[in-house]
A and B are shown apart, each in its own frame.
Chain A
Amino acid sequence: MAVPPANHASSGKSSARQLMRQRKISVKAPLPIYNQNEFAGNDLEVEPLLLSHLGSNQQARDSPAVETGVDKNEEDEVHLRQVINAAQQALQGSDKDKSNAASSVYIPTPDASRLWPIAHKYYNDSVFVEPDSYIKFSATVEDTLGIEYNMDEVDEEFFKNTLVKEYPKESKSNTNGGDASATTNGAASDDSRPCSELEFEAICDKFEKTIEAKQPFLSMDPSTILSYKELHHIILQELNSASTADPYAQSGADPKYISTSSLKEKLSKELNFKPFVTTFDKEQESTNNIRSISKLLELFGEPVYNHWKARKIERKGISIAPSLKFEDPSATEKDNDNDPYICFRRREFRQARKTRRADNLGAERIRSLHRSLKRARELVLNVCQRELLKLQSWESEQHIFKLRSEAKSVKRLVGIKGDDHLFYPHKRKKIVVVEPVDDGETDSYRVKREKKRPQEPSSYIPAQSKEPRLFATPLQPEASSTQPYVKLPPSKIPDLDLVSVSSILQEKNEALKRAVAEKLRKRKELDRGWVNISYDPHQPFFTFATNTSNKDIELSHIPYSSVAANFLHQFNTSNVISDQLKRALEDTKRPLPGTKTFSGSNGEMVNSKPFPQLQTLLSKHLNNRENGSQGYIAQLLANIENHDFSSYTNGFGDVKDSSDTEEVSGPMFRLRKRGGRANQVFVDRRGLFQRPTKEIDEWLSTPPDLEDNKPDETDEAKPLNKDAYLNKKDAMSRLDSQWRFSDDFPEYDAGIMQPFSLEPSRLNYISDDTQSIRFGSMLLSKSYDLLRESAHSRLSAIQARMRAYQNSRQLQQDSNGARPQPGASANSPASRPPASYSSANMSAGSGVSSYNSDLSRSQSGYTLLQGLQLQRLQLPLHAGGASNVPMKSQISQASKGFSSQKRSPNLRGLSSTDPHSLPYGSPRGSSVELKK
């Protein structure tokens, strides 16, 4: 036994170290579990903290201990402490101590061991039979009690000595209710039988209940108790009213609790079934024998009333049976609180806030509950009535059987023969309602039906699975009115596939799915080629994205586009090719580059022929390989030769299906408005073209020829010249401008189309952002003054260079006419915001003030003006260095991006250098004229 020696010893030893050990056990720390034999007992010490303070040892008592949970006043009770100490000692001491200590100590309790020898007299009911399943039971005590009034000794004395001996009075016309009894023609035994205990209780119960309902405050003045006549009258009245239509509406304004017995009474009246015995009535025999209340009152009412009244008044008007004391609303709260006999008080609770809505809701709920309860009640009642009828029918059958057997024996006795069929119960035929319809018609009809039936399921089912109508009636509506019930022999019943509900539902489901899929498909078709531009109505746009994989990049975050749109927003979503132009095109039969040629106003496609001058142009370009764009050129040429102009509309980057470009005479692009969820309005656009710049330029330069060639067209055009918008030239330039800017290609596509950019960031594929940040941080270190100085000096240098460059470009442009599309190339430098800033503000040099607005829009988060400034000074240099980039268009693009700044004086210098820059501020606006 290596139990640590009794804690007296150990605690003494440990007290010195106790401080070290005050560590509490953490509930989350794992406790290793050892068997005692795994220890050399020396190191083990009982945790002093945990010694119960109930232990005998005083020291341990002082230390905080675990709460026992027993009331503090009772913790010191002798017996409890004895028991606990005994247990404690048993734990510490040896086995011998334990066994006798534990067994000898107990908490004494008052005696409960005696048995009541006569108990069985009162518990002599039928043996309880337990069902196999667990019992579910919801009846209340009151339900199972039968009549709630219990006769006591006083009642018994009266009952035995007076009631049974003296009542009922012999004659029918006795003192109480003589005339009433005369009307009853019940069996004589009903009247002469003495009152049973149960009947006595029934009467008293009736009195009690009625008084309780009618005089709830009788205890205030017991002498005002209703007289027998009044009471009798009320009870009878109630009994009679119970038989009226709605037994629960009778109580009218105050719906009251209906006691089980009165409920039974009412039901009995309603069903007209007596005696009304339920499974809650114990001795069905005795309950059966109980006479109706009216009868009982008539026979014993008065004497019982007098007896009962005396008791009631003796009890000061409260119920004769002792009842629990509840809160007395008239007493003070303190009295109510302090009376120990008052129990089961109501619990106060916060009333839910009442609102009209909640009220209505509640009322509606109650109404619906009432309805359903009523329905349920009707149902049960009907079932009940049906069963009663059944009972009757069985009874009568039994009666008939008895009569028959009697008759049989009599017949045998007398020796009459024949008429035997009278003695068998005739099998009752199923009631078949056959309408007297002419036979022939029925037959033909039957044939018709038989033919029809097998087909019907097959014809119904595939028809999008209408409804369960399938079952409804497979008859024609006109026939249904005269439809007789025809009983077919089993062989003739056609094979009718039974359609299950689930299959119908499934079919319905599938049809729905199909419809949805179809809708979706149609929708897709409709939507092809549409681009959602709701959040970016402005065209053209720049993108800064470099991620080529993301084609459908969202454009909403592209800066300035919306600004530009706000400023110059003027959509002309109708056909941008004016009627005049259209006609011209029709008449000339000369293909317009970049458009499809069409014939007739119905827009049939006509194979277009290439321009002669285009041919030369292209051949020229074919040889020009300096830009390494031969692939593109070759493709272009091939396309033109093949009359495949899809590249104009779709670009070269991707070859889309041509279906969306089919509407040749359609607008350049279409906008459509559509409503989305939550009344959101989206704007989609379809069909933008990339401007075939060179070709357009060429073509634009030829209008005189066009006009010359087509005199009739010019004739027609002349009167229309009054309208600025219908001016042909204007229209064409408008068209041009639109084309110029309306390419749908994002920056990366432009990059594909225009692989000549030598921008540094592009060279080594460093992202714009990274590049920007690099520059910014690099430049941060330079001083502002230095910067400014250099800026000034550079500005002049740049301007000089730019001019020089422009000149050289002009030359270059002249020299190679078939350059790749500048429209596309224009986009690429402009896409870098710093670059665009710089070009826009270049002339201003240190126009710091204008940056503020730029800064706020800057995506890359530049925070330092200096960085920006320098950057924008440098970038043009790079651009300039890359001689292939058409500086003019770069600048123009840039300024276009800043169309909002168009009027700022800073720009003036620039606009003077490049006339193109200014008008392009209006990308779509046909109101702004293109200046050349």
Chain B
Amino acid sequence: MTKNDTTPKFAVSDIVLGCKVWVNKEGGTRRAEILQQHVKKGNQRFYVHYQDYNKRLDEWIGADRIDYSKELEYAKEKVEEKNSTKSSLKNLKNSKSASAAGTPQPTTAETLEDGEVDLDNLNVQGLKRPGEELTREDELKKLRTGGSMTQNYSEVSRVRNLDTVILGEHIIEPWYFSPYPIELTEEDTIYICDFTLSYFGSRKQFERHRAKCLMKHPPGNEIYRDDVVSFWEIDGRRQRTWCRNLCLLSKLFLDHKTLYYDVDPFLFYVMTKRLAQGHHVVGYFSKEKESADGYNVACILTLPCYQKKGYGKMLIQFLYMLSKVENKNGLPEKPLSDLGLLSYRAYWTDVLVKLLVEAANPHLWKQNNPAASDPSSDLPPPKAGLLEMTIEDIANTLNMTTTDVLHTLSTLQITKYYRGLHVVVITDHIMALYEKLIKKIKDKKKHELDPEKLQWTPPSFTANQLRFGW
């Protein structure tokens, strides 16, 4: 706030793990939490997490980027609840910083306590967020019963452990922590085979591996193929190594993924792009073999090197295609990531807009659906004039949950209140969205999957097969 006040309020040595400082970032300053520090070639470096930025933007910074003119805030007392987003400005200091800075001295008890926290911080094991311990049990319980997404549970995993990953020909910067063998974290670059997804810290090993490796595509059954992509179904139990490799890789880019438990209870649907060498993994989603909560997705990821090219929407379209075959209305497991939310919203918007506009305007439906002449298509019938649909109808048509439909309707602000009734109004804006969508499809900018090309029967498992022991 007081930008002109350049007098340093603290020194580098005051900085401890868990404290918050202001850091120069993108032309401004941003509050950031120090998560780790180390000395490299004599330079002190800090790993910082910017407040209100996603963790994937966490980075190592030099001490020079820290704005010393603004206040340093220490981590709050351990016993205190973590929930207060506003700083209570208690100015708690531990003994180390107190000696250097002229800030008020905290009570000795607190000092001791903070000292303990420090020791924990130094030890790799410790550093739990306050309150974490309470939910830990529940968290694990949740994991045991089903899905694979959850909040990370250890502070170590808050720090990215790999610098660069080379997957096939792509050089990718990882976003998050992933529990690759700890030896690999010492390497600058790790090499990942594009087909087996095996990981190597040593280039020679990678070379040798490539010389011997014969795999050309994901080790499962191809269940969909068109000109652009193929989809593969892989049973986590049968292809344990491959699926583990895939999970490790995807953990680099999914914050909320957990690898706590093994891959047995999941089916992996992998989207690949065919090149001369074989099928390269573009993205995938995993799905519980049996979901008690009706999830049709556990984790979903487009590899970063293929992002922003519409693959995500294809994945989502595909998973709803599977749900259609299963005749179930599915929903993604929560929490969604920010990108996940946007992808889902984009997909939902597309399908909803298409459905509603074409329901209200049958001529558009005829015009824009080659399948319209085909009476067997399950698209909405071209009824003229006023048409009514319940949310449930929409959900069943699109195999979405009613909540998701409502969610999308609300984000589109498409439901209005008219003379005491809820109505759906196709606003001009929605029409614009629709036209854009149609144009995209016509211009082949957007690739639509063809349900006809899906060769898939939902796998069924016996109770014994679902008891995932070793």
Contact = CB atoms under 8 A, between A and B. Distances in A.
Contact of A343 (B136, B201, B259): B259
Interface in B170-216: 170-175, 177, 179-184, 194, 196, 198, 200-216
A348 interface: yes
A321 B205 contact: yes
B101 interface: no
A156 B177 CA distance: 31
A319 B239 CA distance: 22
Contacts of A78: 52-53
A125 B175 CA distance: 31
B335 interface: yes
A107 interface: yes
Interface stretch (B1-9, B104-112, B314-322, B403-411): B403-411
A112 to B, nearest CB: 4
Contacts of B412: 91
B140 A337 contact: yes
A113 B156 CA distance: 28
A39 B391 CA distance: 22
Contacts of A80: 54, 338, 341-342
A497 B389 CA distance: 67
A66 B407 contact: yes
Interface string A144-167: 111100111101100000000000
Interface in B234-276: 238-242, 244-245, 247-248, 256, 259-265, 274-276
Interface stretch (A21-29, A700-708, A726-734): A21-29
A83 interface: yes
A197 B422 CA distance: 74
A342 B179 contact: yes
Kindly name the residue among A71, A144, A322 whose own CB sees the greatest number of chain B CB atoms within 10 A: A322
B424 A110 contact: no
Interface stretch (B13-21, B60-68, B89-97, B353-361): B353-361
Contacts of A66: 403, 406-407, 410-411
Interface string A38-63: 01000111110011100000000000
Given A112-B170, A123-B194, A140-B219, A325 B182 contact: yes
B307 A141 contact: no
A44 B422 CA distance: 10
A322 to B, nearest CB: 4
B402 A27 contact: yes
A113 B308 CA distance: 11
A122 B395 CA distance: 47
B425 A34 contact: yes
Contacts of A341: 179, 181-182
Chain B's interface size range is 35 or more
Contacts of B392: 27-28
A281 B211 CA distance: 10
Contacts of B247: 344
Contact of A46 (B214, B263, B406, B413): B413
Nearest to A114: B171
A475 interface: no
Contacts of B134: none
Interface stretch (B35-43, B284-292, B370-378, B462-470): B462-470
B423 A344 contact: no
A30 B390 contact: yes
Nearest to B391: A27
Interface string A108-121: 11111111100110
B174 A110 contact: yes
B418 interface: yes
Given A34-B360, A69-B336, A3 B170 contact: no
A87 B341 CA distance: 13
Contacts of B276: 127-128
A280 interface: yes
A344 B425 contact: no
A135 interface: yes
Nearest to A343: B259
A722 interface: no
Contact of B469 (A120, A198, A343, A349): A349
Contacts of A120: 169
A342 B244 CA distance: 13
A492 interface: no
A69 B335 contact: yes
A309 B364 CA distance: 74
A136 interface: yes
A340 B177 contact: yes
Nearest to B341: A70
A325 B259 CA distance: 12
Interface residue SS majority, chain A: loop
A119 B169 contact: yes
Given A31-B415, A33-B360, A127-B276, A144 B213 contact: yes
Contact of A91 (B248, B304, B335, B413): B413
B244 A344 contact: yes
B183 A36 contact: no
A352 B304 CA distance: 43
Contact of A134 (B180, B223, B467): B223
Kindly name the residue among B57, B184, B206, B245 whose own CB sees the greatest number of chain A CB atoms within 10 A: B57
Interface in B379-420: 386-392, 395, 402-403, 406-407, 409-413, 415-419
B455 interface: yes
Given A27-B402, A44-B416, A340-B177, A282 B391 contact: no
A796 B261 CA distance: 97
Interface stretch (B72-80, B427-435, B443-451): B427-435
A111 B264 CA distance: 32
Interface string A62-77: 0001111111001011
Contacts of A324: 179-181, 244, 248
Contacts of B203: 153
B210 A43 contact: no
A346 B212 contact: no
B157 interface: yes
A349 B466 CA distance: 10
B423 A340 contact: no
Interface string A323-334: 111000000000
B208 A74 contact: no
Contacts of B294: none
A68 B336 contact: yes
A338 interface: yes
Contact of A21 (B205, B390, B417): B417
A144 B215 contact: yes
A322 B201 contact: yes
A70 B424 contact: no
B169 A137 contact: no
Nearest to B338: A80
13 contacts: A31-B389, A32-B387, A34-B425, A45-B417, A50-B409, A52-B411, A69-B336, A80-B341, A107-B54, A113-B305, A144-B213, A324-B244, A347-B144
Interface of A: 1-4, 21, 25-36, 39, 43-47, 50-52, 65-71, 74, 76-80, 83, 87-88, 90-92, 95, 98, 107-116, 119-120, 122-123, 125, 127-128, 130, 134-142, 144-147, 150-153, 155-156, 197-198, 201, 279-283, 321-325, 335, 337-350, 352
Q: 6 shortest A-B CB distances, which residue pairs?
A: A119-B169, A112-B304, A322-B181, A30-B388, A50-B410, A343-B259
